[in-house]
Structure 1
Amino acid sequence: MSAKPTTDTRQNAIIEVVRVSKSVTGPQGELRILDDINFALDARERLAITGVSGSGKSTLLGLLAGLDTVTSGRICVLGHDFARLDEDARARLRRAHVGFVFQAFHLVASFTALENVMLPLELKGVRDTTAVAHEMLERVGLGARLGHFPRQLSGGEQQRVALARAFCTRPDILFADEPTGNLDASNAAAVAELLFELNEEFGTTLVIVTHDERLAGACPRRIALAGGRLVD
């Protein structure tokens, strides 16, 4: 289902984006990256954000995660208006409620698979971090790779560790930026299947930036960006 480029607000939305624009100033003056973006997501919804390179997809994802700030408009996540939160408060919100999966995996090279999954659990103050991380790695099929470092794992295995790390804290929202972008077709299909399985299992609201049509097509909701604007 495509979102229309009109205001889409809901009383109980877990994510609400209202007339959001983002501009930066460069050598040639102001550059508008996003222009008048509007949509809302309810809990457990699955949204794909698509568009060609440079259309503003990753910028929008960064704004939704509170990693960057809007030039105008409003973003509310879990009832919190980002305009009313400073950087530390946004970081606390992410730590408590948000998970991430990246194209480049972003695992800690000096940590084993188990230690990488334990890290967000420790930051969140979860008890029995070793047991929880072990269980999640078993869940993604890496029970035999607990002591392996990222360099000892294939790309598909590294992304499975990243999925275990993202879901182990049971986030309300998971942001995935090109999660299959660095994988071959076989591994991409396996990771996509696992991503959606975990999404259903944990009841997470899922927002995916992707060029992968198969991945986007598996999302009941989809918005496309062109030149920083929503298109049908």
Structure 2
Amino acid sequence: MLIQTTQLEKKVTTSEGELQILHPINMQIAAGETVAIVGASGSGKSTLLSLLAGLDLSSAGDVLIDNEKLSELDEEQRAKVRADKIGFIFQSFLLIPSLTALENVMLPAELAGHKTAEQEARELLAQVGLSERLHHYPNQLSGGEQQRVAIARAFIGTPKILFADEPTGNLDKKTGNTVEDLLFDMNAKSGTTLIMVTHDGELAKRCQRILRMDAGRLNEEQRDVA
């Protein structure tokens, strides 16, 4: 399995005592799968995504990425796992305002030491239909264009795993549909494992599996089999 959790928990201490955000979670995700994590606000979806990506540490249990236990790695080692194997798409795009579209996409590859970073970035921006926007800054791009830049950035280096947190949450329906199509098309071409958090039921149905969070507990929805 590419991703596996064993008795994964997250607790935080508040002024009112200990709060259990995630109850023990055991899950497995195979290479190449597309998985949606759905649930109400505050159900623990984004917390789970952060733990799976190594952006946050669990209170108990383990996350294994490619058989590596994240709990046994220090922050530098976890950062290397993210750089080598993981791409991210965020609802708020998180592009660097002072960098052009091309430079934003190049950045992860440059940090990873890719000598062909610019060529890779140009090819990815062409795939998302932004060849004419290479030298535009984020504030010169529409929301849909910014999200397409973010998708191109996430795919640079051909990550094994792509995490997407509400990838169309800040877009109108028409633009969101275009971005969805692009995301799944690029995912299919690259063979990347896609794990996304979404409130959009129609978007979730496009994934092979739907995992539902409910008050910190995870359940898998049964899909109709034709």
Matched residue, 2:94: 106
Matched residue, 1:138: 126
**Structure 2: which 5+ runs fail to align?**
221-226
Q: How far apart are residue 19 of structure 1 and its match?
A: 1.3
Match 1:160 to one of 148, 164, 167: 148
**Structure 1: which 5+ runs fail to align?**
1-12
- 1:181 paired with 2:169, answer yes
Give the letter for the 1:212 counterpart: D
Give the letter for the 1:199 counterpart: N
Separation (CA, whole Å) in 2 of partners of 1:186 and 1:140: 16
Matched residue, 1:90: 78
TM-score normalised by length of structure 1: 0.93
Alignment of 1:1-232 (within 5 A): 13-232=1-220
Matched residue, 1:6: none
Aligned length: 220
Separation (CA, whole Å) in 1 of partners of 2:75 and 2:183: 29
**Stretches of 4+ moved more than 6 A in 1?**
none
TM-score normalised by length of structure 2: 0.96
Q: How far apart are residue 72 of structure 1 and its match?
A: 1.1
After the TM superposition, which of the residue ranges 131-140 and 26-35 deviates more from structure 2? Answer: 131-140
Residue 33 of structure 1 aligns to a residue in which SS?
A: strand
Separation (CA, whole Å) in 2 of partners of 1:135 and 1:230: 38
Matched residue, 1:8: none
Give the letter for the 1:223 counterpart: L
Separation (CA, whole Å) in 2 of partners of 1:75 and 1:115: 32
Give the letter for the 1:184 counterpart: D
